[in-house]
Structure formats: C-alpha cells, structure tokens
Amino acid sequence: MLSSLFKRAKRTMQIYFPLLHLKIAIFLYFGANSLHAPFLVLQGFKIGISQDEMTMIFAIIPIVSFVGPPIAGYLSDKLKQGKIIMICGICLCGILNTSLLYIDANHRQEINSTDSLITLHCYQGAEQVEKTFVSNKTLPFQLLVGYTINIHMKNYIDHPNVTKTIFSTGDQLIVEVREKNWISITQLNSSMSLCKYCTKDCLDVIFMQSLQETKFRYWKRQKEVSNQFHRPGLWIFIIVLLGAKICNTVTFTLMDTCCIRMTELYNGPVGGQKIYGVISAIICSFVSGALVTLMTKLRKSSQRQYDLTFFGSDFLLLCLAVTVFQMDIIGMEEGKINHKTNKKLLFQSFLKPDVIAFLTVSVFNGLCHFYIDTYFAVFMMELGASDFLLSLCSAVSNVSGIPLLLMGDRTVDRLGYARVTSLVLLTFSLRMTGYSLISNPWLCLPLEVLKALTSQFFFIASCRFCSESAPIGLLATLNGIQHACNFSIGGGFGNFWGGFLASRIGRESGFQLMALISAFIGVLYYNQE
C-alpha cells in the first residue's frame, strides 16, 4: 500500500510539460486565497463592523453571488474566450480584495472626561458559574487596543430617552450603552489587560456594583444617524466583498473546467494537479501569519496589520494572470458550442434525474461543509482549545489530504462518482457525530483527517460528474452550476443554519441532527444509484 502510494506520488510530482502551467496556476491560486482569505473577517472588524453584521454578511453573500459561476461558464462556452474571462476575474479579484484595506473606519468624536466614572476589573483564573467567555476565546480577533467587545447584560442602565451613551472610565475604557441591555467596551490603554479570561457573570456583578457605588454623568455621542445600517462604510464593504467573491468563484469555476479538460486531453490525474494547491495552502498559511506579525512590528501598532497579506495575495494573483495567459487551454475551446445543434436538446440534458440528484447533493454537501467550518473555531474554543491546536488542526487536514488526492482518481474509477459522493456524506455524518461526543479538544485531530476525505474526494467526484454528464460544449456551464449549488447556495445556508441550530438546540444536538440527516441522504443517494 505504502509502496504503491509512494510510486504514485513520485509519478505525480514528475514534470509533465503540457500540464506544467496548470500545476503552477493551481499553486498560485490556492496560495493567493490562503494569504488573504483568513483576514477578510478581521479587516471588517477593524473598520467597525460588528460580529452580528459580519455573520449576516457572510450568510447572504454566497447566496447572492450564486449567479456568477453559471454565467461565467456559459459565456466561456459560448464566446470561446475562457482565458480572457479568467484573467479578468483574477485581476478584479485582486483589485477588490485590496480595496477593502482603504475603507474608512466608522469614526466618532468623543467628549473627554476627567471623572472616574467606573472601573471594571476581573481576576484571571477565578471560577465562574457560566462558561460564556467574552474575550478572544469567542470573538474572531485578539482583544487589543481599540477593539470593541459586545457584552449582553442581565440588567441595563435605565436612562430616560437615551439608548446610546458613551462615558469614560478611570482605566481608560469606553463603555457604550447600545440597545437595551447590550453594552460595548473598548480598551484604550495598552498597559491595561481587560478580562482576558473573564466570564459574562463576572462583568455582570462588577458592573452592577459600580452602578450602585458611583454617581454617573453621561456624555452624549456626536450626532449620528439612528439606524446603524446607514453607515456608508458597511455598505461599501458589502458591495466590494460581494464583487470580490463573485470574481473569486468565477476564477475557481473556470480553473476547474480548465483542469478537467487538460487532464482529459493529456491523460493526467485530476487529484494529482490539486495536490499543488494543497501544498501551496500549507505554505502560505504559515507565511500569512508571519507577514501579519512583521507588519504589526514595523508599524509599532497595537492593532494587527493585514496589508502585507493582501499585497502578497495581489502579487500571486498577478503571477497567476500571467501564467493563465501563457497556458495552452486548447482543450477548453475544442468542445465549443455547435450553433447548428438544437440548444433546447442540449439544455434538456441538465434536467436528467442523475444531474438533478447530484446538484441537490452538492447543495447539501456545501451546507455540511460550511456548517462545520464556519463555527469550528468557536466550537474548539468552547472546548478550551489553544491557538496552537487550531493551527495544528488546519495542518493535519491539509497534509492528510495529499495521499487522498493521490488515490482519489483510482477510487472514483472503481466506485463511480455517485458512490464516492455517498461515502463523503456518510463521512460527514461520522465527523459530526464525533464532534457532538468529544469533550477533549485534542480528539478533534482524527476527525480532521476525515475532513480531508470529505473535501478532496468530493472535489474529484464533482470533476468526474461534470466530465461525464456535461453536453458537448457545455462543460464550463455545468461546472459553474455545480459550483453555485455547492459553494454559493449550500455555503450560504450552511453559514445561517449553523448559527440557527446552535442558538435553538445547542451545538452538540445540532451536530447530532445534521449527522442523522447526512447519513440518511448518503444512503438514499447510494440506493438511488
């Protein structure tokens, strides 16, 4: 087994010049995504977008952007200009992603006060009743100077006709009473450590004690529009991010189509090409963290600086555009649409039962994938995982995907793409069952090996499905529809469904429910075949 796997790896790594540009393109694309993608959310927080707003944005944008891949695929098939469309998508993706760095934060003018109105202190390590942490253990950013945390209080300040008030504290904090019993706390003094491991109960008690012991004066905020959704920075961020996501999905769709065509033309393995993307993601994930640390130290800033990661991603995207321009993608153009053929008959092939069944399963696969991935960090933090363990989980899933990609093509040849897809859904069921039962975060590591199986095997199965099911000249169109079902529709509902189930029935029960549904659909799809 190991010897055959080693021989296959050696054969995959051999330079086959007709596919050399494809390997380089995949390496550059996944590297560029790995550099900037983890920091899109953090950049949004940096310019003043709240966590709730960010959750809604990332739940809506995939659904809204689902039209991009099918349209791009159809235009590529019809106009026979897949290379030009791909280069335009690459360039626009880099421009729009970098534009996020230049959106102004939601600034407000504050009235300084010399009065010591309130002091918040919590003791690290103290035992608390409720294990709801209000620090970087539940927020997707490190609590540093200038950042804001939102806390839900059991009681709130009752002040007539005032729902939004700012007042300073003796320890240079800003406490903002936002709506009802929501408050926001912003740390201004870098020498002060604000409750790194404090719970909500701790802040409840101390805040209410301070309310009883101190006479408060309220300072009104600078006049703002009462509706927070009228902030221009929020809408600019949404529009720019939506455009960047559409361009990114268009590029990904056409690159997959190019990969399918060229591997068919030159008899190469699809999984063997994707390996270079996995290797690039592993390398660039470590590089991105180093770039953030370097830029923060150079600017001597208390906030993390993400500029270098976005600029590095732009450089890789520029190299990708040059590589695609040099790429020989004749294989994509050979299957062009024959205008003499009855187009109605061509598109009727999309309504075949096996095509509809696979596209439906693709939606559910995307739902499961994003249901786990979107809230995986929060789930691990609730188990008490460290930042090192989170990085280790990512490394394990990426590294374990390499041997699976090597054997993926042969597995699909033997079982067929439908049975491999059923295996992926059953693996999702096993993963989510495991997540619902573990209490030690280190037990997530073997489950992350299964993540590689669900990701890489489904990628190869979907490529085989498009190759076998696409009508003549409509490979890019079918591939775009499949990507829209998996990443856009399934991904958007997965983002929403994960938060909904966690708030309604709890994270453990949500995992168990999704495991049952995934197993049922996997068995049903297997029997249908």
Kindly report the number of other CB atoms within 10 A of residue 296's CB atom.
18
Task: Measure the CA–CA gap between 29 and 93, rounded to whole angstroms.
Answer: 11
pLDDT at 430: 92
Structure tokens at 143: 């609590």
> φ, ψ for residue 288 (rounded to 5)?
-60, -40
Q: For 16-107+229-337, which CATH superfamily applies?
A: MFS general substrate transporter like domains (1.20.1250.20)
| CATH fourth-level superfamily of 345-529 | MFS general substrate transporter like domains (1.20.1250.20)
Counting Cβ atoms within 10 Å, is residue 432 exposed (0-12), middle (13-18) or buried (19+)? buried
Distances (CA, A) of 289 to 120, 304, 316, 462: 32, 10, 17, 32
Q: What was the pLDDT predicted at 17?
A: 66
Three-state secondary-structure class, residue 149: strand
Contacts of 15 (CB under 8 A, 6+ apart): none
Q: What is the pLDDT of residue 302?
A: 60
Q: What does the DSSP 8-state code read for residue 104?
A: P
pLDDT at 188 (0 to 100): 41
Nearest residue to 486 (alpha-carbon basis) of 387, 395, 366: 366
Please state the pTM of the whole predicted model: 0.65
Nearest Cα to 483, choosing from 273, 299, 254?
254
Three-class secondary structure of residue 274 per DSSP: helix
Residue 187 in 3-state DSSP? strand
Specify the pairing of strand 173-177 against strand 165-168.
Answer: antiparallel
User: Domain residues of the chain, as ranges?
Assistant: 16-107+229-337, 109-223, 345-529
Give the up-direction half-sphere exposure of residue 132: CA atoms within 13 A in the CB hemisphere.
10
Pairing of β 182-187 and β 173-177: antiparallel
For residue 192, how far is the Cα from the chain centroid? 32
Alpha-carbon distance 36 to 99, whole Å?
Answer: 12
Please, are residues 494 and 367 in contact by the beta-carbon 8 Å criterion?
Answer: yes
**C-beta separation of 271 from 405 below 8 A:** yes
Mean pLDDT, contiguous 10-residue spans, the chain (529 residues):
52 63 87 80 72 72 78 79 85 89 58 33 33 34 36 38 34 39 41 38 46 37 42 79 86 84 78 81 79 77 74 90 79 48 60 85 88 75 72 78 82 86 91 87 85 85 84 79 84 76 77 89 79
DSSP 100: G
> Can you tell me whether residue 184 is helix, strand or coil?
strand
pLDDT at site 225: 38
Long-range contacts of 338-341 (CB under 8 A, 24+ apart): 338/472, 338/473, 341/472, 341/473
Report pLDDT for 343: 56
- Rounded CA-CA distance 507/512 in Å is 9
CA trace torsion 26, 30, 33, 34 (10° rounding): -160
The Cα–Cα gap between 133 and 440 comes to: 18
Domain 16-107+229-337 and domain 345-529 have a common topology? yes
Instruction: Provide DSSP, 258-274.
Output: HHHHHHHHHT--HHHHH
Query: Using alpha carbons only, what angle is made at residue 136 by residues 132 and 141, rounded to the nearest 5 degrees?
Result: 135
